[in-house]
Amino acid sequence: MSFEPLKGIRILDLTSVVVGPVCTWRLGQYGAEIIKVESPEGDLMRGLGGMSPTGQHSGTYLHLNRGKRNICLDLKKPSAKEVMQRLVASADVIVANMRPQALARLGLDADTIRKTHPEKIYCLITGYGTEGPYAGQPTYDSVVQGATGMAGLTLKRDGTPTYVPMLICDHVSGEIAAGAIMAAVIAHKASGTGCSMEIPMFETMAAFVLQEHLAQHSFDPPVGEAGDLRLLSPYNKPIKTSDGWISFTVNTDPQVRAFLNATGRSELVNDPRFTSVAARARNVGVWFEVRGAALTGKTTAEWLELFKAADIAVQPCHTLDTLPGDSHLQAVNLISYEVHPTEGRTAAIRSTIRVDEEYAPLQAPSSPRGAQTRDLLEEIGYSEEAILAILAEKAALSWDPAAS
């Protein structure tokens, strides 16, 4: 049986790019019906996320918009605004990541909607919230990485600030928003009341960074410099072998002894600097230098075999080219292939959450703009004559498979 705790919940998805689509994609994984509203120009991530056969379905867009029903509306048109109001009325949850000022102009802000529909759950994902000196400013993932000190972590370690080369702030904030919405749905089931929620990316990711790296400054007065000194060590990186790279970590005393013996440094097993967790914390710089020394005497495969025999946490350090071919990922069928309505054969990434020994079934591929416009207009009460008038006015656009 599928794990669909949100089955029967309709989410009106007024989001684009990454942070909002991550949130609504996750809710869809739990069985919610997601109605994605796009403008005639389309979600920026359709093209921004990279090349595709049609230029309209980047890989990122494909993966973050699976299973969503798509309606395309031009909200500059009065009849499209009426459609939107009917969609709002039909939804249990509204999720938006537009700037608050833009939402207010469209009458799609939390205050306006919940005056008419106090029972709705409204979640706004913003860059900087709606209060404080940064409120209302535009932002993107890389800006948040810089503003929260995330990029600055490598300044402390390597002398140059560096962005994590993935949209980590968008993904983390989107997943946190999804969790908050699920909590609100539980509260609604118990009380029948709605709520207005706000997830500011800057504060969310600042807390994410500081939970680890406030570290010794978590105490007043501080007991040392800020930062997890293990993670900030220049030696905390994948290790070179004779023919590639591996990633491993040793934290417990037995793991450390096994590692030193396996790498031919048995003389350090009883070194007082390394014999306990506390000792290694006091001597973190020299310990990570020992731990991070190149292991070029053997191949990656040989080190993997040796470390796994010693029960050390180790795996090959994959590249983007080698990761899809990882033997474990292939054995559990993380990636499969399907035929997309417009893009031909495409990769599909299944849910990673296993419930009662089953993964959730693969959701439908991401939709072309307006793929479900006609169906949704009919569902919210429009007659065929009214639908034709809306389409003729271009207040809504409907995808035509025959024209693709």
pLDDT tens digits for range 108-122: 999 999 999 999 999
Are the C-beta atoms of residues 73 and 42 closer than 8 Å to each other?
Answer: no
State the pLDDT confidence band at 285, using cuts at 50, 70 and 90: very high
- CB-based contacts of 345: which residues, under 8 Å, 6+ apart? 337, 338, 339
Residue 300 identity (one-letter amino acid): T
Q: Which residue has the tokens 């207040």?
A: 395
Question: Nearest Cα to 63, choosing from 397, 321, 358, 336?
Answer: 336
130-187 per-position pLDDT tens digit: 999 999 899 999 999 999 999 999 998 899 999 999 999 999 999 999 999 999 999 9
Residues carrying CATH 3.30.1540.10, the chain: 239-316
The 10 Å Cβ neighbour count of residue 157 is 18
Residue 294 identity (one-letter amino acid): A
Instruction: Calculate mean pLDDT across residues 234-241.
Output: 94
Residues of the chain above pLDDT 90, percent: 96
Q: What is the pLDDT of residue 1?
A: 55
The rounded distance, in Å, linking the Cα atoms of 103 and 37 is 14
The rounded distance, in Å, linking the Cα atoms of 359 and 199 is 29
User: How distant, in Å, are the alpha carbons of 36, 109, 339 from that of 342?
Assistant: 18, 34, 8
Q: Which residue has the tokens 């005056």?
A: 115
Question: Nearest Cα to 176, choosing from 215, 142, 202, 145?
Answer: 202
Multiple choice CATH, 239-316, 3.30.590.10, 3.40.50.2300, 3.30.1540.10, 3.40.1390.10: 3.30.1540.10
State the pLDDT confidence band at 402, using cuts at 50, 70 and 90: confident
Mean pLDDT of the chain: 95
pLDDT at 220 exceeding the cut of 80: yes
H or E segment and range at residue 105: helix 100-105
pLDDT at 342 exceeding the cut of 70: yes
Long-range contacts (CB closer than 8 Å, 24 or more residues apart) made by 145-151: 145/169, 145/205, 147/202, 147/206, 148/202, 148/205, 148/206, 148/208, 148/209, 149/206, 149/209, 149/213, 150/205, 150/209
Q: What is the pLDDT of residue 404?
A: 62
Beta bridge partners of 338: 346
Lowest mean pLDDT among 8-17, 170-179, 214-223, 354-363: 354-363
Residues carrying CATH 3.40.50.10540, the chain: 10-208+335-340+360-403
> Would you give the DSSP letter of residue 276?
S
Tell me if the domain spanning 10-208+335-340+360-403 has CATH number 3.40.50.10540.
yes
Q: Please, what sign has the CA dihedral across residues 24, 37, 56, 166? A: negative
- CB-based contacts of 10: which residues, under 8 Å, 6+ apart? 32, 33, 35, 90, 91, 92, 93
